[in-house]
Structure 1
């Protein structure tokens, strides 16, 4: 009987394997031919499984490849069995905008924003009511009054930046890595405004360990979201238990810094004062505040430094635009003291340069996915079935020739009414998103970027080093993986 039993076991294994294969094949057949999204165009293999999209993520070119997909398939592309990508100004309003006539909001897609379930929700991924509560508590730190109170704090770090650059640049023959200097500045600013003390980057002219952790943790979070989205949440939970992981190290540093801020007992016009008050009243727990503080660090430092780096690169590789901006800045002020968060608001060409930098080099070039609610949603006049993941991919829409004249040309004039660009659809670019969940720090970000760039241009002539002329050709993992940006700075004689 032994041989017969062995044969039966083999038969069971064979049957089991056959059933698994049949299930996989059946699922693939359903995704292509029977799925509610079957009528939407897209690459064949991407309709089968999300694996091919995430292979592009691993390669670091997913946002740029998304632009190629839109060029081939049109403004709506099916980029996974359950996901649609959009490239049209109307999609911003339909996906992210305010809802009317009682239509439900498209919730944020947890597969992207929340790789595991045991992490507290913050302002980025909170449900609608909780988001409104958190936003109200944090809005005071971003108000016009708070900006006025914060100006001496921000200004002191910009002063220190200029002083350090003057020490380091010499006669301009040696280049400086402006990616580092801009990162150090924005990180010191957010440390003070978010936690009550600087990270000392500019003081030491060196990275605080936390700065590198932020960039690495964003990259790790992107891959963990991909694993979670493909059904490997247990593996993500296991990874998060590792002690030598940038994400966990970053969270530990946030908690330590936050405890120092809370224990100081000082009331100040910073970004988390409102959240701390809610903790004192028993309405928020420490870990909820820590989650929001992590968001503030990344959104308030890394993205601002990224945009400024992009602006410096685009200006130095377009000397005619830099010359015009230099003329505007130096003719508008008599000395450094006149350049403030408020006074930079009159620099119209500066604003156009920053907007064009946001278009060409968006700090978050990916899509910020939402999910179609119960009953589905109408996006760009098309019915999108319930549960579908939807997003506008910023790099793709910002370079879509259907919306922009000469999309790869750096032309600030397109934001100043130049007739050459009269057909440009300026509302196709939404770097701070739209609707009730748009970026709470938009006004401060613009003011801070204008102040830093104006002070640099007022004090230095800039030329790009030869080894950084292809700097913009980078990989991206949610945020850009930025190499050194080497710039020659020559002090201006006054």
Structure 2
């Protein structure tokens, strides 16, 4: 092949190509560091240049820990990637199922499963005490509740005292999703979509198939019931909601209504048993408030301010969702904590990092329910920094259900049992990995039935 000539001199095409690529890369780096709209926002050099560090920690399962370390070093506004600084119609149709009115209508159903939980725990403690993995018992309970509330039937976990395959699949799905989200962070979103269309995301596909089958069975019931997706089913034709959209929303309901609630209850049980003085105080509150197990209802548990404080403190120290919840700044940009963020920038909050930030909390490593009860020692705590259900128009629609379930389950257990933690679970939170939700090891707790006073 004849060489290319310019002004009589040969031109090395590969060399020019390499030079152009190098210039593009160097130019991109220069722009991100010195000219880009986010140039003034602090963060580690490598994180400001490439998504690779973030992807590494997502795959490792410790992104929540790393972000907390970076906030400690760089402050409350942090640049995590070159471009990132830390649907209404459907929501309206779903909102009725999560209203206070619906919670009251669903009380007998929820209470039935909680009473079955207590019955099963007593059966295991017939000889005066039992060592039980409470992680599993909480998962079985919340999964059965969401099955009946959302799909018209339980999954049989409490009845058979065992895992429905779906429960384990949820955690595996999150781990698989984290891997593919990492590809998206590297700019390979089209590749991820292609892989998904080919059906190569096996756990996600298996999970959605189960959702689809269960949802079809719910629709075939052909009768109205005060459950969580009745509004969507009734309006699907009128609003033009296709079956795929129904499946996506049903999948979110299962995850948000079971996994996160069970996780918080596990966290609260761990923190209380590791702080026996707090456990004794909340147990006394429950047992002195109610004269019988039957008096404990979704309404009456609102009389337990210390228990609510314990749950809020557990949400602070062990938030069920550890990943960020991204948003995009509006047209014209936005000022966040005194820092102007240009429009179109992805911004997010890692709740776990915020919840341990000493700028917002006094003694953040200390389990102190009193900080939620106007204790003067914690008067400077910025409680609105904790938003485990997010905030604004896209906050978690299931907040009412979560609090109702958590308060009822914990109150029933505290009324019926004394709890202590097994030695092999004392380091339960140490080195737990997270893939949006926690990978929780066994939580072994000793339960001893409470001897009720006669008369």
Contact 1:169 1:488 (8 Å CA) reproduced? no
Instruction: Tell me whether 1:426 sits opposite 2:383 in the alignment.
Output: yes
1:75-122 residue CA offsets vs partner (Å, 9 max, x unmatched) = 11111111112xxxxxxxxxxxxxxxxxxxxxxxxxxxxxxxxxxxxx
1:235-289 residue CA offsets vs partner (Å, 9 max, x unmatched) = 3124323356111111111111000000110210001000001124353111111
Instruction: Tell me whether 1:404 sits opposite 2:361 in the alignment.
Output: yes
Give how far 1:375 is off. Answer: 2.5
Instruction: Tell me whether 1:178 sits opposite 2:117 in the alignment.
Output: no
Instruction: Tell me whether 1:234 sits opposite 2:235 in the alignment.
Output: no
CA 1:462–1:371: 2 relative to 1, 3 Å: same
Alignment of 1:308-319 (within 5 A): 308-319=265-276
Instruction: Tell me whether 1:485 sits opposite 2:443 in the alignment.
Output: yes
Partner Cα separation in structure 2 for residue 261 and residue 10 of structure 1: 70
Cα root mean square deviation, aligned: 2.0
Structure 1: where are the runs of 5+ without partners?
Answer: 86-125
Alignment of 1:45-84 (within 5 A): 45-84=46-85
State the partner residue of 1:347: 304
Instruction: Tell me whether 1:166 sits opposite 2:167 in the alignment.
Output: no
Alignment of 1:53-452 (within 5 A): 53-85=54-86, 126=87, 131=88, 133-171=89-127, 174-240=130-196, 241-242=198-199, 245-281=202-238, 283-452=240-409
State the partner residue of 1:97: none
Partner Cα separation in structure 2 for residue 346 and residue 173 of structure 1: 29
Partner Cα separation in structure 2 for residue 167 and residue 243 of structure 1: 44
Contact 1:171 1:491 (8 Å CA) reproduced? no
Partner Cα separation in structure 1 for residue 200 and residue 109 of structure 2: 35
Contact 2:273 2:279 (8 Å CA) reproduced? yes
1:361-402 residue CA offsets vs partner (Å, 9 max, x unmatched) = 011123211112233222223221122111122111111111
Partner Cα separation in structure 2 for residue 306 and residue 134 of structure 1: 26
State the partner residue of 1:476: 434
Give how far 1:33 is off. Answer: 2.0
Higher mean C-alpha displacement, 316-325 vs 16-25: 16-25
CA 1:244–1:367: 2 relative to 1, 3 Å: closer
State the partner residue of 1:20: 21
Contact 2:59 2:182 (8 Å CA) reproduced? no
Partner Cα separation in structure 2 for residue 391 and residue 220 of structure 1: 22
Give how far 1:309 is off. Answer: 0.5
Contact 2:129 2:449 (8 Å CA) reproduced? no
Partner Cα separation in structure 2 for residue 38 and residue 279 of structure 1: 46
Other structure's SS at 2:445 match: strand
Give how far 1:63 is off. Answer: 1.1
Partner Cα separation in structure 1 for residue 189 and residue 235 of structure 2: 32
Partner Cα separation in structure 2 for residue 311 and residue 324 of structure 1: 14
Contact 1:345 1:447 (8 Å CA) reproduced? no
Partner Cα separation in structure 1 for residue 11 and residue 166 of structure 2: 55
Other structure's SS at 2:325 match: coil
Structure 2: where are the runs of 5+ without partners?
Answer: 5-9
Higher mean C-alpha displacement, 228-237 vs 69-78: 228-237
Higher mean C-alpha displacement, 249-258 vs 53-62: 53-62
Contact 1:151 1:341 (8 Å CA) reproduced? yes
Give how far 1:222 is off. Answer: 2.6
Other structure's SS at 1:77 match: coil
CA 1:259–1:42: 2 relative to 1, 3 Å: same
State the partner residue of 2:411: 454
Partner Cα separation in structure 2 for residue 209 and residue 14 of structure 1: 57
Higher mean C-alpha displacement, 220-229 vs 64-73: 220-229
Q: How many residues align?
A: 446
Other structure's SS at 1:413 match: helix
TM-score for the superposition, normalised by structure 2: 0.94
Contact 1:42 1:69 (8 Å CA) reproduced? yes
Instruction: Tell me whether 1:38 sits opposite 2:44 in the alignment.
Output: no
Give how far 1:172 is off. Answer: 6.1
Other structure's SS at 1:355 match: helix
